[in-house]
Amino acid sequence: MRLARLASVMIFFAAVPVLVNAELHVPGVFSDHAVMQRDHPLRVWGWGAVGEQVSVTLHDQTVKAIADETGEWDAWLPPESAGGPYMLTIKGSQSSHDVVVKDIMLGDVWIASGQSNMEFPMAGFADTNALLKDGDKEIAAADQPMIRFIVQHRNIGTVPGDDSPDTWSLCNPKSAVKLSAVAYFFARSISEREHVTIGLIDSTWGGTPASSWISQEGLVYANLTSTIAGAVQTSREQQHADKIRTINARIDADMKAQGKLLPMHPRIAGDHGGAWALSGLFNGMISPYTRYPIKGAIWYQGEQDAFQIASRNYARVFRTLISDWRNHWGEGDFPFLFVQLSSFNSGPDWSIVRDAQRRVLNLKNTAMAVTLDVGTANNVHPPDKQTVGSRLAQLALGSVYHESGSASPLEFEQATSEPTGMRVWFTGHDELSSSKGKLDSFEVAGPDHIFKPAKAEIQQVRGRATILASAADVEHPCYVRYGWLPVVTSFLYNSSGMPLGTFTSEPE
């Protein structure tokens, strides 16, 4: 028994990197031009020699820490208001040099994450002819001293990481070409209104499922059987990768011969280079930042989950992701703003995911930007990222920064059954208008859940704008839905110009 216990202890210490004579160093997130979160306890951490005494000075504050048995140290400084530029100086009792980080600003830090529509850089995806609207003009005007950013390189981790070599950049026409366009337009709108430096942590990977961005603890705690099924399928694909490549090549050739559009991304067998591995992207691209205080997160993902079992479980998976991130950051229910999928000529599961995204709004401090009206039928990467970023910013200005006059979202509240149809109620008491002067994106269904196109009209009921939707061939209306086709062509707006997103009144 004693020998077994001794062996286990030896194995533990063999796995721990004990830094005896290590020089003092910090993660890449503490680089020149960094933005640190204002009005929040400021956390600084790094590594040195075991037992080393460390002194951390930022602006006019100094705190001390001691490196533990693995050489890691952790220090907290009291909150500071927006300002800068400041210098961060870290000194160690056993190190031959100090760590000096220059040009630090105190402002608001937002993490921008998701798949390709958030990844979509200012330069666009030239290889698929997906370019930003007015891209050259926008890049030329990207000299934005109030915006700074990190672009996290693609990285897969088998265990949660605590560092990344990626560092902060100033925003200018040369550097902005690689920055997420949605994140850029979001930050530009916020900085112009709030007059505060915005720091963006751009951590994205196109064509990835939500489960890759959730920690292993989060997946286990939520008991997400659909993600396990997906992992099993990925494993099977890896075992038959060559066969799958041959099949996919034949499918693509047939589609091309028939004049059909090929997928925007090449079909890749297996786990897409590790990007589909459960928790792989959380470990490699999110975990390194979970100790770095943030203002909130913006998220644009869901396209990769818009099929079969994944789409039907997306609400559970997405809720898990939000809760998991909040748990790891330890900042409570920080703001989490996300984008509902745009219009795109895909299958029926596309709308299921859009409705699943809408249902996640029951989580505290979440908000959803609707983009049905900026989508493109035959390109999964719509060029109008300005509107997407602006709508996310409007949500933040209203719900996070509490700015008066900011646009309010138009959200489905409930549906009530009437003898002539279904009445749709919305949050707030707002005016409604249609993009076409008529509404042709509503459907109603009876107890059989078979939906029929509905005639819809705007009606005022005791000072509230509602929609009454009815179909002559549905005798006992029970349910109503809106924007259920993959490509929506008729839109409903409130007085703030915010559109209504896809929803169904059916129970989850």
User: For residue 199, what are the β-bridge partners?
Assistant: 109, 148
d(CA 186, CA 184): 5
Give exposure, 66-84, as e/b (b: 16+ Cβ within 10 Å): ebeeebbbebebeebeeeb
Domain residue limits at 479:
412-504
On the question of pLDDT at 262 being above 80, the answer is: no
Query: Where is average pLDDT lowest: 76-85, 241-250, 296-305, 309-318?
Result: 241-250
CA angle 125, 129, 394 (to 5 degrees): 55
Same domain, 297 and 422: no
Mean local confidence (pLDDT), 44-53:
97
Mean local confidence (pLDDT), 23-39:
97
Task: For residue 472, count other CB atoms closer than 10 A to its CB.
Answer: 8
**Does residue 170 or residue 462 have the better pLDDT?**
170
Tell me, what's the pLDDT at 438?
80
Query: Where is average pLDDT lowest: 173-187, 249-263, 270-284, 320-334?
Result: 249-263
Position 55: which residue type? S
On the question of pLDDT at 10 being above 70, the answer is: no
Last residue of a domain, one of 342, 377, 399: 399
Contact 201, 289 (CB under 8 A): yes
pLDDT tens for each residue of 94-112: 999 999 999 999 999 999 9
Contact 417, 409 (CB under 8 A): no
Same domain, 299 and 435: no
Tell whether the torsion through CA atoms of 359, 422, 349 and 501 is positive or negative. Answer: negative
On the question of pLDDT at 202 being above 70, the answer is: yes
Contact 348, 334 (CB under 8 A): no
d(CA 89, CA 136): 39
Query: Where is average pLDDT lowest: 7-21, 117-131, 176-190, 201-215?
Result: 7-21
On the question of pLDDT at 461 being above 50, the answer is: yes
Same domain, 342 and 371: yes
Query: pTM surpassing 0.85?
Result: yes
Same domain, 301 and 389: yes
- Number of domains into which the chain is organized: 2
On the question of pLDDT at 462 being above 50, the answer is: yes
On the question of pLDDT at 129 being above 60, the answer is: yes
Give exposure, 402-420, as e/b (b: 16+ Cβ within 10 Å): eeeebbbbbbbeebeeeee
Tell me, what's the pLDDT at 355?
98
User: Any idea how long the chain is?
Assistant: 508
Return mean pLDDT, the chain: 90
Residue 11 domain flag: no
Last residue of a domain, one of 399, 427, 455: 399
Contact 137, 210 (CB under 8 A): no
On the question of pLDDT at 1 being above 60, the answer is: no
Rounded to 5 degrees, what are φ and ψ at 453?
Answer: -55, 140
Classify burial at 434, counting beta carbons within 10 Å of its beta carbon; exposed 0-12, middle 13-18, buried 19 or more.
middle
State the CATH number of the domain containing residue 189. Answer: 3.40.50.1110
- DSSP state, residue 489: -
